[in-house]
Amino acid sequence: MHKRKIMNYHQNTVDRVIAAQILADRAGLNDNQKKALVKNVEVEQNKSLKKEKFIKLGNKRVKKTMASIKLISNLANSKNYSYSEKDANQILKLLNSEIKKLKFKFKKSFK
């Protein structure tokens, strides 16, 4: 199924490029203008693919992370586990540290 999606995306890109070339011919554009138009279509397709990839992977990774955090929160059940406040704070400190790093990376990408 994954290969089919790649093939469909590739075919869609080819179709858009061909459509851009046909429109450029009908509009009477010169070769440089045609190349620029085709390049713009390819760039837009690439941006679209990156966005789709971000959403797909983001959803998958956030879902896994949430499940892991729920499992870690089970450790707080003192009926099943023995731990000190220091142990709990160490786990929370590590998690908060990673969240801060994540926020920094996203904020950095918008500057």
Residues 8 and 41 occupy one common structural domain: yes
The alpha carbon of residue 74 and the mean position of all alpha carbons in its chain are separated, in whole angstroms, by 29
Same domain as 39, residue 20: yes
Residues 59 and 90 both lie in one domain: no
pLDDT, tens digit (0-9, with 9 covering 90-100), for 25-72: 788 888 888 788 878 888 887 788 888 889 999 999 999 999 999 999
pLDDT at residue 107 above 70? Answer: yes
Residue-wise pLDDT for 68-102, tens only, equals 999 999 999 999 999 999 999 999 999 999 999 99
**C-alpha of 9 from chain center:** 17
How many domains does the chain divide into?
Answer: 2
Q: What is the pLDDT of residues 1-17, one digit of tens each?
A: 444 444 454 556 667 77
Q: What angle do CA 95, 96, 99 make, to 5 degrees?
A: 90
Query: What 3-state class would DSSP assign to 80?
Result: coil
- Domain with 5 in it: 1-67
Between CA 22 and CA 41 the distance in angstroms is 13
Residue 30, phi then psi, degrees to nearest 5: -80, 175
Q: Judge if 79 and 63 occupy the same domain.
A: no
pLDDT at position 86 is: 97
Q: Does residue 99 share a domain with residue 54?
A: no
Q: What is the pTM of this model?
A: 0.62
Distance CA 100, CA 30 (A): 52
Tell me, yes or no, whether 50 and 26 share the same domain.
yes
Same domain, 4 and 54: yes
